[in-house]
Each structure stands twice: as structure tokens, then as C-alpha cells.
Structure 1
Amino acid sequence: MSVKFTSNEIRYIALFETVTNAVVKDCIVDDEHDRVTFLVKKGDMGLAIGKRGSTIAKMQKSVDKSVEIMEHSDDPGEFIKNLLSSAKVNSVEFTTDSKGNKIATLDVDSKDKKNAIGKNGQNIQRARQFAKRQFEISNIIIN
């Protein structure tokens, strides 16, 4: 599945790749929460963050927004765990509903559900966006 980027996302990706030398697989710009989230190629997290977070700090200053970085994976289960890394995800199960939509059901520690969902559902919403764009997963359900 190929992702179609807006011109705004393309500008952010170009800047991020220039500043960090990391390869960006996807990008979501959230103007409502003043945040840009980059999905980087597996193994490029170190480049993206930089020594003691220097690269990410430089990027945040350049875009005047909060910058988040997540690591891509070709395995959908690992990918979803990476997206919700602030929570302990014990397992990911994939099913298909009657309409043929792929659904990911997560077993998350009860004490970490708040982190997985995020303030006003921001974390789970972003995870659903990336999962839809990268793996055509229609929904993520947290148990």
C-alpha cells in the first residue's frame, strides 16, 4: 500500500531527513495538538534522536512543534507495539470482521491502558492512522 502525502507532510519529511539522515516511511502532522510524528525505517531511531536527543531537539526548534519518532517494522504486531511503546502490550491478535476489515486486538496491562490511549485518545488515534496507512488495519481495540 502506498501512502499519499500532503505537500505539508512532504516538506516536514524532507527537513527531517536532511537534519537527521534517517529514512522516513510515513509522517502525520497534527496541527490541532501542534505535533508532527515521523515513522522512521527500522534501525534509524538512533540517527533520528541523536546524541542525548540533540537531533530531535534541533528538529523541534526548526518546526516549532512537538516532534515524535516511531520505528517502522514489517511485522504488523511489532509495528503496533512500536506505535504504543509507552504502554506494555502483552500480545496483538489479528482478526477480520464480517465486512473483511482487519482488526487488531491488543492485550495491554491494566495499569498501562491510560498510556496506550493517551490524553483525549491521541495515542490510539495516531496508532490507528499509521496502522491503516501502513497495513490496512481498520481498527485497533485495547482489552
Structure 2
Amino acid sequence: MRVTLSDRDRRFIACFEDETGATARDCLVDEEGSEDRVVFLVAAGEMGQAVGPDGRRVRSVEETLGRSVALVEDADTPEAFVANALAPAAVKHVTISEQGDRIAYAEVPEADRGAAIGRDGRNIETARRLAKRHYDIDDVQLT
């Protein structure tokens, strides 16, 4: 799918890439809730570079942008993508239903459901938005 980025999103990605040396494939700005948050979709295999030693690179991006930053690692399959988007929750298995709407069903242990959902539903909503933008998945549901 083709993702359209605003000028602000492109500026945020340029800042992220300059600070970390990692490639950002997408950027979502979450301005709801108590704090502004920017979610970067990091190229597969570049998560360690993006975070940096002891998280220094990602903290530098947070200081530069004045917002909290969350990272999601890209993946080659929609199932792996949804699992990455729900991290740090331990996702056991993801199934994509093609009957009618495309829905991703993520099997998450009860102990990790809170992490998958996130405060005020932010994590699962981010997973839904990214899955829609990159794999045309209409919904992400936990099982």
C-alpha cells in the first residue's frame, strides 16, 4: 500500500533518521490523551540501531521533538507486522481472516492483554492504524 505523509510527518522522520541512523518507514502522531506521542515504523532489523545503547538514541529523538516516542519494527508478513505492533505484549499467534473485512486476530496471553491494549487503548489503536495503512487490515482483535 502507498502511505501518504504530511510535511510534519516527513520532518519528524528526518529528525528520527538523523538522530538514530535507522530508517523510518512511517510516522503516526498521537495527540490524544495526556501526552503527545510519535510512533515510528522502523525498518526490519534496525530496531537496535534506532534504540541505541541504553536507549540513548530514542531519548535524543524524544528531547528534540519534545514528545514521547514509540517504535514498531516493520515485518514482511501481515501476521508478523501485527505481532510487532502489539509489542511489548507476547503475541503467541496471529490469524488474518479474509471473510468480509480483513481482521487480524492476535492470540495474547491473559497476563499480556493490558500491554497489548495499552493505556486508554493507545497500543491496540496504533496497531490498528498501522495495520490498515500497510496491509489494508480493517481491524485488530485480541483473542
TM-score, scaled relative to structure 2: 0.94
Q: What is the aligned partner in structure 1 of residue 129 from structure 2?
A: 129
Q: What is the aligned partner in structure 1 of residue 59 from structure 2?
A: 57
AA matched with 2:140: I
The 4+ residue runs of structure 1 with deviation greater than 3 A are none
Which of 38, 62, 70 is the matching residue for 2:40? 38
Cα displacement (A) at 1:97: 3.2
Residues 10-58 of structure 1, C-alpha deviations (whole Å, 9 max, x = no match): 1100111111111111110112231001001011111111111111111
Counterpart CA distance in 2 for 1:94 and 1:126 is: 17
Q: Which runs of 5 or more residues in structure 2 are unaligned?
A: none
Q: What is the aligned partner in structure 2 of residue 102 from structure 1?
A: 102
Q: CA RMSD in A?
A: 1.0
| Percent of aligned pairs sharing the same letter | 38
Q: Does 1:72 align with 2:74?
A: yes
Alignment of 1:82-93 (within 5 A): 82-93=84-95
TM-score, scaled relative to structure 1: 0.94
Cα displacement (A) at 1:86: 1.6
SS at match of 2:138: strand
Q: Higher strand proportion, which one?
A: 1
Q: What is the aligned partner in structure 2 of residue 14 from structure 1?
A: 14
Farther off after superposition, 85-94 or 121-130: 85-94
Q: Which runs of 5 or more residues in structure 1 are unaligned?
A: none
Q: What is the aligned partner in structure 2 of residue 28 from structure 1?
A: 28
